[in-house]
A and B are shown apart, each in its own frame.
Chain A
Amino acid sequence: MSQALVIVAHGSHLNPDSSTPTFAHADTIRESGAFDEVREAFWKEEPSFREVLRTVEATEVFVVPLFISEGYFTEQVIPRELRLEGWNVADWDSDGTSADHATLEARDVGKTVHYCGPVGTHDSMADVIIQRAQSVTDDPAVGSGFGLAVVGHGTERNANSAKAIHYHANCIREQGRFDEVQALFMDESPEVDDVTDHFESDDVVVVPLFVADGFHTQEDIPADMGLTDETGTYSVPGTVDGTRIWYSGAVGTEPLLADVILERANDAGADIESAIERVKELTGGVVTA
């Protein structure tokens, strides 16, 4: 039976680069041949969540949200707009970071949808964050002598937003690879503004857990940290209060994220074991299967 992958992301009416990581990861997965069809869909662009399922032929569709945390979009907007019959967030049985998948029928097209948890809360995101640290420092062994800041948007409105950041920061801390690991936020404490207060290391890698590069990752966070100069630009590494800051830009642009999308679909029962290995070769991930 043919199976399709639909990657659903936020997109933007204003920022043309918002969809770029979604397209890039979709292309990696297309190239792997894991699915008969791969399609991207967006809240703010087209195809919309409302119409994407009719653009794929397969009657079995794996939907993976390219979102960082569980919350309003993954729990309410996406299931509603996809018209997933009988959806209830309890189907995920999640503590805020443990959503796996639920199988439902999309009412308008009569297709079976395996609705997966967001990529951002998958365990393997920790690998992507570390890969991002390796990329930005150009050091495959980065860790010793370095601090790592995992930065989230944070919002007082949804506790899950911060949970995902803390979850990955804890996982990476437990690995003992970096001297220090901290979760920091734009809109709640501890704030990224005071990044150097939270670290003793001379070198700190800062990885924002955002899907795409945009105003938040390219302007707000660097400015909040005091990393940008008068022209609004920053260098990597830059120096803030005597600490070298290795700012990586959005984690969502890391090629390895394609692996996480596939892991999500695999967890939901997609028949793609061999493709996962092929994608890991393409994205530089470690073959674990």
Chain B
Amino acid sequence: MTNTQVVTLREAASDEGGVSFDGLVVTRDDNSGTYTVTTPEASHGPLETDELMAVAKSNAAYVTNWYYWTQSDLTEDEWAFLRWLERAAENDVRDRYEALDNGIERAWGEISVTTTISETGQRQYSLCNVADREHTALNEHTDPLDARQIAKYDDDGHYRPLKTAPTLQTGWQFTDLTGTEVLQTIDFIYPATVQNWYLERQDELDISHWRETAERQTGIYDIIDELDPEAVEWLATACCVDSQCLKRRQWDESEDSPLDVPRGDGAFPCREPCSLVIAAARKWTRLEREETREYTFELTPSEKAQIEDLIDAVSDGRTDDIREADMKDGANRYRARYLRAKRFDENGQLCGVTTDATDPDS
């Protein structure tokens, strides 16, 4: 605890209403000029100025906690989030300080945030991928701007156009960040998630549902309001579930027409269809304009099942996990190559059946 903290406390106690925060109450009696200090454990007073100093020192946790949370220039959402990080609503100051000595860890999407505390009550924040919690040999960063590069590529070096895809790369950590820095770092990894989480807590999240979002589009996306509700369900199943995006979908077909697709369990909400969904919707709108046709293929039962396996494997992103020699798996590369060799003609058409003309723009 520093002298500045105690002096600031004394001055705040003299203000109208005194100090009342997280169990610490300090007031000043204007007539006698003495102070009263109350914590959940004890009440002290009346105290002269020098006695106030001594009591403050013996209750350093309460004083430094008050100082950290009241003498910052955080916005309401930032303040609420940093409090959430150290579970301030669940634990009183004594328990929290004990836990902070060891570090309080919370997950935000795939980010693990650990809050610790200095002698003077300053919080320090460190971040890593949840999957790296037990790892020590991580590349260390201290500049929040570095987070932009980390968020850009997955572990295979592939570009991540969707920041909240569950593919955040591993192997990095940020250490010794201030509150402002941890918020900036998180905003580069998962932009606007803290603000939208806070708006939702305040029951003020501005949700833009599918219908409204689709009708707002212009230019090449103008067509997406043609997609019918059933196709919007398929779209949400394809793009907006936990396996594809960590945001919890709060938008529906419209306010009165909820989608059946599970919203997901993410910590932070999704308030409207994102640009990736809009771009995909444009493709599906064009594809859905086609009428079905009847095709006749000759396939063995195993070959039909294999096509289903292939679609499943691609949909679930598990093609890279299929072992080279696993001939039981229909999506095994050799199995696929055999099927292609047997069933495709020289133009790559299944069983030599001609594909009807498709929309040239689709």
Contact = CB atoms under 8 A, between A and B. Distances in A.
A236 interface: no
Contacts of B163: 45-46
Given A27-B145, A48-B275, A55 B191 contact: yes
Contact of A52 (B164, B192, B199, B219): B192
A108 B153 CA distance: 31
A76 interface: yes
A57 interface: yes
A30 B196 CA distance: 25
Given A27-B145, A77-B219, A51 B275 contact: no
Interface of A: 12-16, 23, 27, 30, 43-48, 50-52, 54-55, 57, 72, 76-77, 80, 108
18 contacts: A13-B275, A14-B159, A14-B161, A16-B153, A30-B145, A44-B161, A44-B275, A45-B275, A46-B163, A46-B164, A47-B187, A51-B191, A51-B271, A52-B191, A52-B192, A55-B195, A72-B219, A80-B216
Interface in B312-339: none
A82 to B, nearest CB: 13
Interface string B275-286: 110010000000
Interface of B: 75, 145, 148, 152-153, 159, 161-164, 187, 191-192, 195-196, 199, 206, 208, 216, 218-219, 271-272, 274-276, 279
Contacts of A48: 191-192, 274-275
Contacts of B275: 13, 43-45, 48
B161 A45 contact: yes
Contacts of A57: 75
B272 to A, nearest CB: 7
Nearest to B159: A16
Contacts of B159: 14-16
Contacts of A76: 218-219
B195 A54 contact: yes
A46 B219 contact: no
A75 to B, nearest CB: 11
A42 B208 CA distance: 18
A55 B152 contact: no
A76 B152 CA distance: 28
The 7 closest A-B pairs by CB, nearest first: A47-B191, A51-B192, A16-B159, A13-B161, A46-B191, A54-B195, A46-B163
Contacts of A72: 219
Q: Which of A14, A44, A46, A52 has the most CB of B within 10 A?
A: A46
A9 to B, nearest CB: 13
A23 B150 CA distance: 14
Given A23-B148, A27-B145, 16 more contacts: A13-B161, A44-B279, A45-B161, A45-B163, A46-B162, A46-B163, A47-B187, A47-B191, A48-B275, A51-B196, A52-B191, A54-B199, A57-B75, A72-B219, A76-B219, A77-B219
